[in-house]
Amino acid sequence: MSVELNHTIVHARDNRESAGFLADILGLEVGDEWGPFIPLATANGVTLDFATVPEESIITQHYAFLVSEAEFDTAYARVKELGITYYADPHQKRPGEINHNDGGRGVYFPDPVGHIMEIITRPYGGFPA
């Protein structure tokens, strides 16, 4: 069997709020509560399991999602509609811009606790030679 990422736990102040936020942006369905987790499944079978933890124990992380051009348009429009500050770069030096890395498009934006979410239309190194 090959190795695949199956799930990861995402710390949140409120697991429902954070799962719902990302589901709304990406057009995904929030799963049924399972123990302390609110799952959000992606198309490739990886699940983000949102867990409520004390705010002071949250260490912000980065989560990147590969999306189609149409999905990017929808998610990007939703980010703008919600008035979320977005960036073209992970260091947040280019606010209000998108990037065109590897011939695609990408943006970074914070979730409710400050995790940096990224949507890209091409994987890194995906620009044709």
In tens, the pLDDT along 80-95 reads 999 999 999 999 999 9
Reported as a single tens digit per residue, the pLDDT across 18-63 is: 999 999 999 999 999 999 999 999 999 999 999 999 999 999 999 9
Cross-strand partners of 26:
none
- How confident is the prediction for the chain on average, in pLDDT? 96
| Distance spanning both ends of the chain, measured CA to CA | 31
pTM for the complete prediction?
0.93
In one-letter notation, the amino acid at residue 70 is: A
Domains of the chain listed by start with CATH number = 1-52 (3.30.720.120), 62-129 (3.10.180.10)
- DSSP assignment string, 27-92: T--B---BTTEEEEE-TTS-EEEEEE--GGG----EEEEE--HHHHHHHHHHHHHTT---BSSTTS
Per DSSP bridges, beta strands 106-110 and 116-120 are antiparallel
Q: 């995906």: which residue's tokens?
A: 126
